[in-house]
Structure 1
Amino acid sequence: MSLKKVTLVGVWVQASGNVGAAVLPELLKSDLDLTILSREGSSAIFPPGAKVVRTDYSEDSLIKVLVGQDAVVSMLPIVALGEQQKIVEAAIKAGVKRFIPSEYGSDSASDEVIAAVPFFQPKKAHLDWLASKEDVLSWTAIITGPFFDWGLKLGMTGFNLATKTATLVDGGKTRFTASNTAQIGRAIVAVLQYSDETKNQLVFTESFTTTQLEVLASLEKLTGEKWKTVEVSSQAIREDGFSKLGKGEIMEGGAAVIMALVLGEGGLEDHTHVKGGIWNDRLGLKTESIDETVKSVLSLWC
């Protein structure tokens, strides 16, 4: 059964670097009957023709908006899990069939991942709570790995495009599963199309599974230059990240801890080995080319 009437929460497209800017077009060009939920008084700007409903996020307001909807898709940040829970509770009262929480990146249901990135614990607790409601509201958590094209531009996978320097973590040999931002949008659409198959479980999707060394080879080929390399251990990155978190440097510290998780030799972000494997074939999602992705990012950078 395909779920058609969908409300999207927590996306805005005018913010530079916001992942929703790439995800939203994929949803808009699908056959979904999409409604975007936006807070009253918000300055968010959406594409012409998009159906936008404003709410004050009170329970009554949310229920009114969600009555008659098949599914709710959340892209709220981790700091807004309390707000996401409020939306889930309203969705249950409104009779919504499916909720897709704001998971995407890492597998926050994994105890090993939580041990490596303790600040993901609230996401795990929220997912456990959501699963406890599946008798009245089904759910699907989409796990995509790091957002590759977005992260490559920002240097979050160890590559500095400006200086042509690669910071190789644990030798750069660790395989990790990643998704381009538009692919996340396509994954959301596919999960809603295959709602019976994806009900009440984690669904792992990808653009590709690669290594830093493979990405470096692509960068050198496409820039026509030899890149400088710097070797660093994932343990050193992780320790530096927690040190920064302790000093209140939340963004930098958090990014470092996640970088150690993704690129560290433990291979926890290689989703090809998870139970059930990658869902791309079952969802009709094509994998993507590393070279084409790198070429696209470089064209925007230069």
Structure 2
Amino acid sequence: MSPKYAKDMPQDFTNRIERVAIVGASGQIGQYITKALVDTGKHTITALTRQGSKNELPSGVKTILVDYNDEAALIAALKDQQFLIITLPVTAPPDTHSKIVKAAAKAGVKRIMPNLYSMDDSNEALVKETPLNASKEGILSDIEAAGCSWTYMICSLWYEYSLAMGPIWFGFDFANKKLTLYDEGTTKVNVTTWEQCGRAVAAFLSLNELPEDETDKGVTVETWTNKPLVISSFLISQKDMFESWKRDSGDRDEDWTIESEGSKERYQKGIEAMKGAQDPMSARMGAAMASFVRAFFPNGGGDYESTRGLDNGKLGLPKEDLDERTAVAKEMVEQEYAAKLFAKMAQGS
């Protein structure tokens, strides 16, 4: 397909993304994307919120209550939007994403950031062996079949969330001060903070939509048409995380029980727990154990910045302070974030 240039567009074409719709604007990652977009002051933001939601949104965000099963209402809500961002919880019905995409296409939305906040999907073994991996092919084919383009985000594991959630995730049992190292705990993996994800989306959507002409070599929204944004906050190991935790908390090695477990053995335990589970939540915990330890397999694809590079520089993303972000995770632990989230998931909300 021949390149598109702003100079060739109709006279009323404005070479920037001004109108952005977000599904899940108050969710785990959605709230950070929404805030970052608001902070730019460059966009009119419309949040599509399910009926009955009581979550608050930043000032200036237009809210439209929708029933995701009502296509006509979705089309009306998405009319005139230039870009759609979809973030959905794991409790969302499996066909919700497809319904939103089809409605967006009928409303004339051309560009979509789907509900993919992904690992390094260029590593086939990693993708195949990660139980919680979303079906990228199905999601993207839905978007392409609808005549829209996509840009999703490769950000791997969310740092503060994964650290605070408990031993199944990064091996930290804070209540009992017990750390399970995967192998020697020295395998480095890419992790990303929610705030960095938000900044990445805001920076991306603040670019020109198209190059001005053939001489314009700068990055634009078009640069990532049907390509992922590849970002990260840190390339770190479990031991790096523990050192950061100790600096923030004042804990010492002797305050903790530190054990090690082979990453492949732990992975197999997770798979067996998932397959033998008697209920959906137990199955998900087994899948989480297998999925998170899989990223820590030595040379297993958890470090993707060394193999494919990052888009951080192109987007002007800042270098973050590890101890500051670990302090955020510490606060989440103290506020019992994981227990509250599990309770919310059990309620299906």
TM-score in terms of structure 2 length: 0.77
**Equivalent in the alignment of 1:272:** 305
Q: Which moved more, 1:21-30 or 1:33-42?
A: 21-30
Partner of 2:16: 2
1:234 to 238, 263, 276: 263
Q: Is the 8 A contact 2:98 2:142 kept in 1?
A: no
Structure 2 residue ranges without an equivalent (≥5): 1-14, 208-220, 335-349
Q: Which residue does the alignment assign to 2:217?
A: none
Partner of 1:201: 227
Asked if the contact 1:131–1:200 (Cα under 8 Å) also holds between the matched residues in 2, the reply is: no
Q: In 2, distance between residues paired with 1:296 and 1:72?
A: 29
Deviations 1:220-270 (A, max 9, x none): 233331133110122222222222222131331121021122222233121
1:25 counterpart residue number? 35
1:244 counterpart residue number = 273
Aligned residues: 295
Map 1:120-159 → 2, pairs under 5 A? 120=133, 122-131=135-144, 136-155=147-166, 156-159=169-172
CA distance in 2, matches of 1:251, 1:11: 24
Q: State the superposition RMSD in angstroms.
A: 2.3
2:308 aligned with 1:298: no
Contact 1:38 1:53 (C-alpha < 8 Å) held by counterparts: yes
Which range moves more in the overlay, 167-176 or 287-296?
Answer: 287-296
Say if 2:154 and 2:230, in contact at 8 Å, map to a contact too. Answer: yes
Contact 1:109 1:124 in 2 (8 A): no
1:259 alignment partner, one of 278, 292, 305: 292
Residue 128 and residue 234 in structure 1: after superposition, are their counterparts in 2 closer, same or farther (change >3 A)? farther
Closer/same/farther in 2, CA of residues 102 and 93 from structure 1, 3 Å limit: same
Counterpart in the other structure of 2:247: 221
For residues 82 and 37 of structure 2, what CA distance do their matches in structure 1 show? 15
Task: Say if 1:100 and 1:140, in contact at 8 Å, map to a contact too.
Answer: yes
> Which residue, out of 67, 86, 103, partners 2:79?
67
**Cα distance in 2, alignment partners of residues 241 and 92 from structure 1:** 39
8 A contact 2:29–2:198 mirrored in 1: no
Work out whether residues 7 and 66 of structure 1, in 8 Å CA contact, stay in contact via their aligned partners in 2. Answer: yes
**Of the candidates 49, 62, 68, which is equivalent to residue 38 of structure 1?**
49
The 3 A distance-change label for structure 1 pair 163 and 87 is: same
How do 1:86-165 and structure 2 match up within 5 A? 86-108=99-121, 110-120=123-133, 122-131=135-144, 136-155=147-166, 156-165=169-178
Distance 1:41 1:109 in 2: 39
How many Å separate the matches in 2 of 1:126 and 1:273? 27
Where does structure 1 differ by over 6 angstroms across 4 or more consecutive aligned residues?
Answer: none
What is the one-letter code of the residue matched to 1:106? M
Q: Counterparts of 2:173 and 2:58 in 1: how far apart (Å)? A: 32
TM-score, length of structure 1 as denominator length: 0.88
Give the Cα–Cα distance (whole angstroms) in 2 for the partners of residues 274 and 103 of structure 1. 21
Q: Quick one: percent identity of the two aligned structures?
A: 27
Query: Is the 8 Å Cα contact of residues 208 and 289 (structure 1) preserved in structure 2?
Result: no
Instruction: Decide whether the 8 Å contact of 2:182 with 2:296 is kept in 1.
Output: yes
Alpha-carbon distance, 1:11 to partner: 3.8
State whether structure 2 residue 89 is matched by structure 1 residue 77: yes
Q: Structure 2 vs 1, CA of residues 223 and 118 (structure 1 numbering), >3 Å: closer, same or farther?
A: closer
Stretches of structure 1 that go unaligned for 5 or more consecutive residues are none
Q: Measured at CA, do residues 159 and 38 of structure 1 come closer, stay the same or move farther in structure 2, by a change above 3 Å?
A: same
Contact 2:22–2:47, Cα closer than 8 Å, also in 1 = yes
- Once the two structures are superposed, the pairs formed by residues 157-196 of structure 1 within 5 Å of their partners are 157-194=170-207, 195-196=221-222
Q: 1:171 to 1:279 in 2, by over 3 A?
A: same
C-alpha distance in structure 2 between counterparts of 1:259 and 1:94, whole Å: 38
For the Cα contact (< 8 Å) 2:266–2:290, is it kept in 1? yes
Preserved contact between residue 36 and residue 199 of structure 2 (Cα < 8 Å): yes
Contact 1:151 1:157 in 2 (8 A): yes
Work out whether residues 114 and 139 of structure 2, in 8 Å CA contact, stay in contact via their aligned partners in 1.
no
**What CA distance in whole angstroms lies between the structure 2 residues aligned with 1:132 and 1:193?**
27
The answer (yes or no) to whether the contact 2:180–2:261 under 8 Å persists in 1 is yes
Deviation, 1:127, is: 2.5
Q: Provide closer, same or farther for how the CA distance between residues 69 and 154 of structure 1 changes in structure 2, counting only shifts above 3 A.
A: same
